[in-house]
A and B are shown apart, each in its own frame.
Chain A
Amino acid sequence: MSKDETLGEALRRQGITRRGFLKFCAATASMMALPPSMVPAIAAALEKAMRPSVIWLSFQECTGCTESLTRSHSPTVEGLIFDTISLDYHHTLQAASGSAAEAAREAAMEENYGKYILVVDGSIPTANPGYSTIAGISNKSMLLDTAKGAAAIVAVGTCAAYGGIPKAKPNPTGAVAVSDLIKDKPIINVSGCPPIPVVITGVLAHFLTFGTIPELDALGRPKAYYGQSIHDRCYRRPFYDKGLFANTFDDEGAKKGWCLYKLGCKGPTTYNACATTKWNEGTSFPIEAGHPCLGCSEPDFWDGGGFYKALSMPTEDITRAAVYAVGAGAAAGVALGAMNRAKKARAVKTHEKVTINDLEKGADDD
C-alpha cells in the first residue's frame, strides 16, 4: 500500500466493485441523513480522497472497542475502509512495540502534521501519571503531545468520550475523558461500550468526503447516529405504550417479547443507533436478545443507579425514609399539638365571664 494511493484506488485494488462502493456511499449518506442526490458527490469525494493518516492511541481501555471494530464476520466495505486508512500507529494491532513503535508514531506525526486524525480509546488517568504508561510515557502527556498536530480527534468508546468504566465511582485513577484535557481541537465522541463499528467508518467517511466533522449533539456525538433514543426506535415500544412489561427474565411477558422497562431498561434516556443498525451484521441488539439497554453510550452509565432498576424507581431507600418521617412527624405533631392544647387551655382559663355590660368598649381602652 503506497501512501499516495487514493481511497478509490485502494478499494479497487482490494477487489471492491464500483457497485459495492456506491452501495456503501448510499448507506453512508442515509446514515448521515443526507439526501440520495448526495451519493455521487460522496462517491466522487471518497474516490479521490487521499488515504488519511490515522494515529490510534489506547489508554485505560479493555480493547473492547478495537475488538468491536476488527471482529467483523465477513469483509465489508466498512471494514475495508478501515483497511485502507493508513493506520500508522495502533499499539494493539501493530507489530512493532516499544521505542520502535513510538518512533513510528513520531514519524507519522511529523509527516502529516496538522492533517492526521487522532483516534483515542480509553480514558486518561490524572490521579497519578504512573497508573497507565506506554513506553514510559504517561497517557496524559502522550495525548497532549499527539493532539497538537491532529486535524480532528475521534474519541472512540465511552471511556475516551466520557471517562467510561475507569471513571466509575470511586474513580481510583482520576480517569477523565479526552474532552476534559483537549479544548482546542474538534472532538467527535463515538460513544458506546463498545461503539457500533459502522459509526466510526461513517464518521471517517464524512471527514474524508467533506473535510469537516459531522454535526454533533450536546454530548459531542454525531447527530446522524445518536439523534434518536433507543426507546423511540425500539421494536418493543408498542408494548411499553400499552403498559405490557416483562417483570422477570423468564416470565410470560419476557417470552412474549414485552417491554423491558421494569427490568431496568435505559432505552428512554439512551441515544445510540443500536435499535436501527443493530450488531453483528445487523443481526440483533441487546433488547432484541431479551436484555434491557444498559445505556452504555451515555456519560456515567455505570453509575446510573443499577442496570436492573427501572428508571423511575428511586435509587435510595425511600420507604425507610418515609417510615422514619412518620415517626418523627408523629412525635413533632404530638408535641406541637400538646403546645396548642396548653395554649387553648390557657385561653379558656383567662376567659372572664362575659355579661351584657361587657359588650361595649370601656372609655379607657381602644
Chain B
Amino acid sequence: MSASLQRGLNAFKEQIDAPVAAFFSSCVRCGLCANACLFYTETGDPKYTPIYKLEPLRRVWRQEYTFWGRLAKAVGLSKAVTDEELGDWEELVYDSCTMCGRCSMVCPVGNDITYMIRKMREGMAVAGHAPVGLVGATKRAVEIGSPMGVKLPALQAQIRHTETEFGLEIPVDKEGADYLLLLSSMEIMNFPEFIGAVAKIFKHAGVSWTISSEAFEATNSGIQIGVSEIAAELVQRIVTAAEKLKVKSVISPECGHAYMAIRWEGPNLIGRPYSFKVVHILELLDQLRAEGRLQTTGKESQRLTYHDPCQVSRRGGVVDQPRNLLNMVAEDFVEMPETGTMNWCCGAGGGVSSNERADEIRLKAFNRKKQQLDAIHPQAIVSACSNCRIHLEDGLEEYGMDMPVISLTETIAEHLAEDKS
C-alpha cells in the first residue's frame, strides 16, 4: 500500500464529524482568524488565513455531507478535490500551522480551526502530502523509538552523567513507583540538566518515581504528522510500560505536544481509558507546592517572563500552575501583553520544528514573539517546553536579541531549600 489521493479523501470523510460540520456551516468569512495567526500577521499573505488552510477539507464536507453539495457533485457541478490541490495545501497545513490553537480562541462564531487542522492532516499524510522532514521524524520514532533517533544507550549515558554530577540516584524500571517520568528526545540531547532537576526536586519532595528503559520517549510524531495508527502505537508503548511498572501516574515532561499526545489524545488513540493518571511536570510541581512539599529559598532578581507553550496552556489547560511556581522564585515576573491562553506561539510547534523546509517562515513568524518581548523587555524567558526553548533561542539569535531561555523546572530546582534535601 502506498499513499494516494483516494486514501486521503477517504480519511477526510472519516474525520468529518458534527463539530467539523458545525464549524464549516458557521464560518462567515470575516477573516478575524487571520489576525490571530502569527503566520498571517508576520507575512501579510492572505493565504495563511487559518480557515483557508482547510479549504480542501471544507470542500469534501460540502460535497459529501450536505444536500446541495451532494447534488452538485452528482450532476457534475462541483469539482472533486485533486491531488495537485492537496499538494498545494501541504505548505499551508504543515509548514505554516503549528496547531497553536490561537485562531480557535478568536473566531467569533466559535470555530475550532485547530481541531480541524489536526483532522485534515490525517488525510494529507495518507495522500502522501506530509513534509519529508516530518515523515523522517515519524519513521525514526517508530523504528528507533525517538524522532531524533535517540536510543537507550544515549539516555543511559545521560543518566549516569547526571547521577555522578548531582550525586543522586535516578531510578530506572523501578516497579511500583508512584510516577513514571517521560522525557523528550530534546531534553535528553539538548537539555539533560532537566533530568537532574527533576531528580533533585523529587528527592526534596519525597516523590517515588522511575524512568522506563522501554518507553522513555514522550513525544509523538504520529500526532504531528496526522496518522492516528502510528500515534496510537507510540502511545501504546508508554501505556504498556506504565502498566508493567504498575505506576499510579505518568509524568509528561516539559514538552507541549508530548503532553497533548499522552494526556489528551492518548486514550482516544488506543481506544480505552488509562489505568493511571497523566500529569504535566508543572502540574505535579504545583501540586507539591500546594501540599507544602516544595520549599524554595531566594529569588531570581532578573526580570522574567513566561512563554506559555501552546499545547501546555491554551490546548492543555496548564495555565495557572506555572505562574504559581514562578511567583515562588521570581522577584520581577512580568507577563507579556497577550499571555496565558492568548499567548503567541514560538512558531515551531505542531511538527514545524521537524520540517526544515519551514525554517524560513518559522523565523519570519518569530517576529510576533519579538514584538511581544519588545513590549516588556525581560532579561530572561522562562518556558516549559524544550521545543519552545530551542526555537525561542533560535529566533532570538536570528533577531539579534540576547536573552537566555530557561526551564521552569530547572529554575525551581535551583532554588530548592537546602535543609529539606
Contacts and interface: CB of A to CB of B under 8 A. Distances in A.
Interface of A: 336, 340, 343-344, 347-348, 350-362, 365-366
B65 A360 contact: no
B126 A354 contact: yes
A196 B333 CA distance: 86
A347 B227 contact: no
B14 A361 contact: no
Contacts, number: 67
Contacts of B130: 359
Contacts of A358: 1-3, 7, 126
Interface residues of B, number: 28
Interface stretch (B135-143, B186-194, B246-254): B135-143
Contacts of B230: 354-356
Contacts of B125: 354, 359
Nearest to B229: A354
A351 B10 CA distance: 7
Interface in B207-255: 225, 227-230
B1 A352 contact: yes
A343 B2 contact: no
20 contacts: A340-B65, A343-B65, A351-B11, A351-B14, A353-B229, A354-B125, A354-B126, A354-B227, A354-B229, A354-B230, A356-B135, A356-B138, A356-B139, A358-B3, A359-B130, A360-B3, A361-B2, A362-B4, A365-B2, A365-B4
A198 to B, nearest CB: 57
Interface of B: 1-4, 7, 10-11, 13-14, 16, 64-65, 67, 83, 125-126, 128, 130, 135, 138-139, 142-143, 225, 227-230
A359 B135 contact: yes
A23 to B, nearest CB: 66
The binding surface of chain B is classed by DSSP as helix
Contacts of B143: 356
Nearest to A332: B67
Given A343-B13, A366-B83, A359 B227 contact: yes
A360 B14 contact: no
A164 to B, nearest CB: 48
A343 B83 CA distance: 21
Nearest to A363: B2
A344 B14 contact: yes
A350 B11 CA distance: 9
B215 to A, nearest CB: 18
Contacts of A336: 67
For A350, A351, A352, the residue with the greatest tally of chain B CB atoms inside 10 Å of its CB is A351
A350 B126 CA distance: 13
Nearest to B64: A343
Given A354-B125, A360-B128, A348 B3 contact: no
A348 B126 CA distance: 14
Nearest to A340: B65
Contacts of B228: 354
A362 B83 contact: no
Given A354-B229, A354-B230, A361 B3 contact: yes
A365 B143 CA distance: 26
A354 B16 CA distance: 18
B95 to A, nearest CB: 16
A348 B67 CA distance: 21
A358 B228 CA distance: 13
B48 to A, nearest CB: 25
B91 to A, nearest CB: 17
A137 to B, nearest CB: 63
Nearest to B143: A356
A133 to B, nearest CB: 61
Contacts of A360: 2-3, 128, 135
Contacts of B67: 336
A176 B1 CA distance: 80
Lowest 6 CB-CB distances: which A-B pairs, in order?
A362-B2, A347-B13, A361-B128, A347-B14, A359-B135, A356-B139
B226 to A, nearest CB: 10
A347 B16 CA distance: 11
A216 to B, nearest CB: 49
A366 B3 CA distance: 9
A128 B10 CA distance: 72
B89 to A, nearest CB: 16
A359 B64 contact: no
A356 to B, nearest CB: 5
A143 to B, nearest CB: 56
A218 B227 CA distance: 71
B4 A361 contact: yes
Contacts of A355: 1, 229-230
B108 to A, nearest CB: 26
For A336, A347, A355, the residue with the greatest tally of chain B CB atoms inside 10 Å of its CB is A347
Contacts of B126: 354, 358-359
A344 B128 contact: no
A354 B13 CA distance: 16
Given A343-B65, A347-B14, 8 more contacts: A344-B14, A344-B16, A354-B230, A355-B230, A356-B143, A359-B125, A360-B3, A362-B3
